Structure 1
């Protein structure tokens, strides 16, 4: 909890400070357009981060005017970080009544051992801070850092020189997006396997960092290169991606003929629920524009999350994204400007295509060998390559399985 809170706050503060410094340099060089765009992306994710932290902690219904004032000054993550650290260092110094009892299944290979743990008030407050910072990190990454990274790379190519503040902002935004995608992947595992005690090993984190870093870097590079060659055509590409992934959950909801879920927030009206669902769907669309979200929305479910791992959906996404990235890079190759005359264009195209292929390879390695709940999968990556899943499904339809309360039966249903 301490590491997550400190890292999220450090990335937030560093990115905002670098954006402000860069805006001042743009102002001195009379680059008003670049200054306005940089400041807009910095302020948008800052305001959304404050709203997320305030909404999750329910501060509007509590008497905390000083905390709300700091949120208005865009210092919400800082005061939340200090509050979480104070709770962390004071925990365990005095005996306190437990808040609740957590029942989890501890996995060791394919065997599960039920465990119980008492959760005190301090641990419950720290969990609330951890969950709030996780969601704020995802919002910061894909609603602020991702557009900021694309913009600064485009400005660098257009102006043909590098400012120190711009280099720092590019590095920080890339780290922020990779960290947000990593948090999104871990959240997906924890949500889908809520009844199990999930612990990721260092090899799993390394695999996910390589997978997410290569995926985001190659995707952003393809968009930036395409925008430098065909500037106005990148707008329909970006809007088309957002519209496709925004409409997909609503189309699935309409197909199932299900009503709007009323579990978002009990105090919200129907209009407020619709606005909240639209914001969640927009965040989902922004994540899928740059990388695979791993958390699939299901608006017909009470918890809004589809807990079923769909290999066909994942394969369709990566096939579509691979073809789109290849198309963007090839179009840049044919319409590139004179700025790239000293760059080996065919080699750059090959590097970007190979980089995205390596990202997909690290993703498959993660699910095959490093996923903490891989023993619960009904099928894995190797089964899909051997088409064992088709034969197993056909065999399971011919034979009727006997009901059993063992972990294996629960894992197959999961």
Structure 2
């Protein structure tokens, strides 16, 4: 018989609360497997595999410049993915060596997905035993079984939280820049082999999925961390909004970069660092006090953590709207209030950026970029962005879920 597992608290389980476990085990006979873990792993494998294929293709063709950027972006994203998963699973007690080797080989998502699947099947077995032995008069045996059920549930929910954060990191640290770069390569050499088309598709799906997760996590934050389930209609609007936003932004950035080459770099850096510095300017304006929840922590560690969060927040805002407002002086880090002003301000500035990049493309385009009407392409890009903005407005005005009627 398996040895009883000690009960674990919320701090050791990646922030999994007892309420989340109760929600997860609401249907005691057959709790739902978190398929977002499987989808995240599938996207990770598809993106890495297609990037490695293009790496080999670029190397065989002697395209050292394209090869270097392609492999650098995918390795950077994979590295941060491993760091994210390790951060959430720092308390793993079994098979530490196997898990660590998996992360070193950049196979962490695959290993964690298999681990979650094993815990899920164990949970089903424990629930079956609990149903069969519900009339058992042995309280000690029932207590051990309850501990096993809680522990397996904690492991599954912890991995679900870890993969959500990993997907956001992957989407905006690797997938979105990779998508822009591969579109840039296609515009420059006017070729679209099947390998690059597959890589661009995986990157688009990954970036859009990360943006969708940003929206759902923002809804959860604004509703006091209550688990919210989006009905099909609301989810459809979020998907369309995010896909249109990511596509239009990526194409605008690629057209701008392909037109001006290295001259576009200062402009892009300014856009990014404005998003980085904006939360810190507000932080200093409010008195430069660290969040009160970090008083017992190392000041240096807290500042480093806030810098990392700010860099990721700026990377998200560079590609799409982050769906939340960062507040470094607040112990909750993110503003839980709904701010139409913040929403409109972001989209107004990003639309202005897109217009400026499109104008630069029209006036400074290379003669080998496209074989069609440049003005028509520019209009299509801006219309797609405005359509995405329209879907966003419709969602927040009519379909935004509230805790009172959408709580699980």
Alignment match, 1:173: 203
- Structure 2 residue aligned with 1:363, among 369, 383, 392? 392
Q: What's the TM-score once normalised by structure 2's chain length?
A: 0.83
Alignment match, 1:81: 113
Q: Which moved more, 1:238-247 or 1:286-295?
A: 238-247
Residues in 2 aligned to 1:24 and 1:38: alpha-carbon distance in whole angstroms: 10
- Structure 2 residue aligned with 1:141, among 171, 176, 180? 171
Alignment match, 1:285: 314
RMSD after superposition = 2.3
1:346 positional shift: 1.7
Alignment match, 1:30: 62
1:123 positional shift: 2.3
1:232 aligns with 2:232: no
Residues in 2 aligned to 1:313 and 1:286: alpha-carbon distance in whole angstroms: 17
- Structure 2 residue aligned with 1:54, among 82, 86, 107? 86
Residues in 1 aligned to 2:211 and 2:143: alpha-carbon distance in whole angstroms: 36
Alignment match, 1:276: 305
Residues in 1 aligned to 2:97 and 2:172: alpha-carbon distance in whole angstroms: 30
Alignment match, 1:308: 337
CA contact (8 A) 1:368 1:374 kept: no
Q: Which moved more, 1:225-234 or 1:338-347?
A: 338-347
1:342 positional shift: 2.8
CA contact (8 A) 1:54 1:60 kept: no
- Which structure ranks higher in relative contact order (CA pairs < 8 Å, sequence separation ≥ 6)? 2
1:321 aligns with 2:350: yes
Residues in 1 aligned to 2:251 and 2:184: alpha-carbon distance in whole angstroms: 9
The one-character-per-residue Cα deviations of 1:219-250 (angstroms, maximum 9, x if unpaired) are: 11111111111112321122112211111111
Within 5 Å, which residues of 2 pair with 1:139-218? 139-194=169-224, 196-218=226-248
Residues in 1 aligned to 2:382 and 2:172: alpha-carbon distance in whole angstroms: 23
The one-character-per-residue Cα deviations of 1:139-169 (angstroms, maximum 9, x if unpaired) are: 0000000111111111111111112211100
1:44 aligns with 2:44: no
1:59 positional shift: 4.8
Residues in 2 aligned to 1:263 and 1:87: alpha-carbon distance in whole angstroms: 33
Q: Which structure carries more strand by proportion?
A: 1
CA contact (8 A) 1:70 1:76 kept: yes
CA contact (8 A) 1:249 1:297 kept: yes
SS of aligned partner of 1:331: helix
- Structure 1 residue aligned with 2:271, among 216, 223, 241? 241
In structure 2, relative to structure 1, the CA distance for the partners of 1:295 and 1:37 (3 Å cut) is same
Within 5 Å, which residues of 2 pair with 1:253-272? 253-261=283-291, 263=293, 269-272=298-301
SS of aligned partner of 1:145: helix
Alignment match, 1:11: 43
SS of aligned partner of 1:300: coil
1:298 aligns with 2:330: no
Contiguous gaps of at least 5 residues in structure 2: 1-32, 131-141
Residues in 1 aligned to 2:295 and 2:198: alpha-carbon distance in whole angstroms: 39
1:352 aligns with 2:381: yes
In structure 2, relative to structure 1, the CA distance for the partners of 1:316 and 1:133 (3 Å cut) is same
1:179 positional shift: 0.3
Residues in 1 aligned to 2:351 and 2:312: alpha-carbon distance in whole angstroms: 22
- Count of matched residue positions in the alignment of Structure 1 and Structure 2: 357
- Structure 2 residue aligned with 1:64, among 87, 96, 99? 96
Q: Which moved more, 1:325-334 or 1:278-287?
A: 325-334
